[in-house]
Every structure is written in structure tokens, then in C-alpha cells.
Structure 1
């Protein structure tokens, strides 16, 4: 069943990528890790740990894990700890490619940070990200519910969705990213 769902998702994914106009960011091993696009931030003001301030209307690079490719790549690894460490390594290796994406973007001077929404909150601080709560309850629930199918496919467990999981914003300032 899981294999069929991943196959269907894999068939639909190129259409979704074209509609959303994503650019793909790969790891050193040429594994697609992120999909990114530049947009204007519309959330509440955020003060990051390095002192950067993100306000409405600032240009940010929105990052999305390329879940289908990561699921396909990590699905053969049985150990949850090993999968986590592999994902951490792939994300770490892809961050310099996001920095290059920003350097080469036409709005590179105006881009202030990268950001995303995640349920994976444990190791992101080590990568240089700040996690921030999502204050809007409805948006938080929408994001949580949209990530449940991904979570079920990645863990293979329905019961784990009832564990307390926090959906958060992730931010990293452009200055911090360019230092990686």
C-alpha cells in the first residue's frame, strides 16, 4: 500500500513542482533535498537569534523538503536513528547549495532569510535554524494536517500521529546561511 501511494505521489509531483515554480536543491550526492522559491513573508514579525528581524513584505526563500525523493532514498534504511542521521547529513550538505541559489538570484540583495514549516524540530538548531511557534491556530492546524500523510508514509505508523508533535516555523538569516 505504502509503495502504491509513493508511486502515485511520484507521478503527480512533477506537475505540482511546475505549478509551484520550485527550484530543486540537491545534496553533494546529487539527491534532491529541498525545493525552494522566493516569496514575500506575510507572517508576524520575527526576531532571529543573530539579531536579524523579519517583517511582513520581506523577501525570503521558502524551503520545502523534497519529501517524495527523500522517502524513496531513505526507505531502504530500517533504523529510525540511521534515517534521522542520514537526513540531517543531506540537509547539512544542501545548505551551501541554497546559499548559492540566493547568491545567483536576481533579488539576492533583498532576500533576508530562508524559512519553512516543519514537524522535525529536534536537530534543526545544530544546523543553524531558529524555530518559532506558529501563532495562528488555524494555520498551525492546516500545516499539521498537511504533514500527517508525509509523517505516516515516512514512519509507517498511524499510531505515531497521536504523539504530541509541534509544527513550527524554521528561520535562518541569509548572513548565517552564507557563512555555512
Structure 2
């Protein structure tokens, strides 16, 4: 019964996703070799939070431009249903993010406003192990915004990790400077 409810929720989510995609000004960050699109969808964003200093010396302040990264959550959750353990799900997620980051680098490098963008930013509750990929995590300091993002991410967490409290890990910013992104995932790695 629970699996049917999840499938129904995914079907509704899948129907709404194209509308969200169209309204949010998102773009896919490239296509992978097998013709399947990257797990990332992106859009330029003017940062509005507190000043952040990354470990490589990059400072991100209010009104700086970043490339906002979004995981394609509907696709991701559907794919995660193939795996029966959290370890396999985590490994799959890590592989998908790692495979998608060269496409994000390519997109940023070729973006018409690349020179003014300082890096990439995302918000997720799935932040365990992201440092291995080059990201830095930063707490969301605004409690109202943190609550809003938690509420928005709870349905995905409930479907992706049934049985675990979706409130067990607060959402965080994931950040990477443009220079670090190009160094680790430069577009030359796509070929």
C-alpha cells in the first residue's frame, strides 16, 4: 500500500515538474553521452545571503552572481527506487552528481555572463559526503528561509528515504568557486 502511495505521489510530481521547470527559468546543464540529460538543472542567481568566504579565498557577498544548481528530483527519486539500501542509494547519488558536474562546468564556462559569476550554489538536505566532490557546506543563517527550504524538501526526503525522519538533517548551502569547479570538473573532462 505504501509503495502505491509513493508511486502515485511520484506520478503527480512528474506531472507538475514540467510546469515548475518552465516557470523557474531552469536549463539543463548539458546532455550526457547516452543521450540522457544531466541530473542538474541550472539558472543564474544573484546571491542575497550573508558574506561567505570559501577555503580557496573566494568571497561571496550579497548581490554577487552565482549559477544555482538544482538536482532533477523527480528523476532522481524514481531512479533511487531501484536500490534497496541507503548505501546503494548514496553511492548512486554520488555517481550522478559527480557525472553531472563537468556539464555544470561546461555550462558555466560558456554562459554569456560567465565572467561575472563567482561559482555555483545549491541547497540540499542530501549533503553528507559532498566535501569529497569539492563542495563546501554553509548553514542557512536566516531561520525563516531555512524553515521554508526544509518544508519544500521534506516531500522529496520522505520519498527518497522512507522510514527516516525528513527533519533529521537541516538543509545547507553547497558552494564551490568557479575556479575550483573548472579545476576539478573542467569542461575538457566531458569528452
How would you bin the TM-score normalised by the shorter chain? over 0.9
Partner of 1:23: 27
Structure 1 segment 1-180 matched on structure 2, within 5 A: 1-25=5-29, 30-157=36-163, 159-162=164-167, 164-180=168-184
Aligned residues between the structures: 178
Partner Cα distance (2:85, 2:169) in 1: 20
Partner Cα distance (2:8, 2:131) in 1: 35
Give me the CA root mean square deviation: 1.4
Query: What is the deviation of 1:103?
Result: 1.2
Partner Cα distance (2:170, 2:155) in 1: 15
Partner Cα distance (1:141, 1:28) in 2: 38
SS of corresponding position for 2:176: strand
Confirm or deny: 8 A CA contact 2:28 2:37 kept in the other structure: no
SS of corresponding position for 1:160: coil
Q: Summarize the Cα distance change of 1:27–1:86 in structure 2 as closer, same or farther, 3 Å threshold.
A: farther
Q: TM-score, normalised on structure 2?
A: 0.88
Q: TM-score, normalised on structure 1?
A: 0.94
5+ long unaligned stretches in structure 2: 185-191
**Superposed CA offset, 1:64-105 (max 9, x none):** 111001111221111210110011011011111001001111
5+ long unaligned stretches in structure 1: none
Q: Summarize the Cα distance change of 1:28–1:81 in structure 2 as closer, same or farther, 3 Å threshold.
A: farther
SS of corresponding position for 1:125: helix
Query: What is the deviation of 1:160?
Result: 1.9
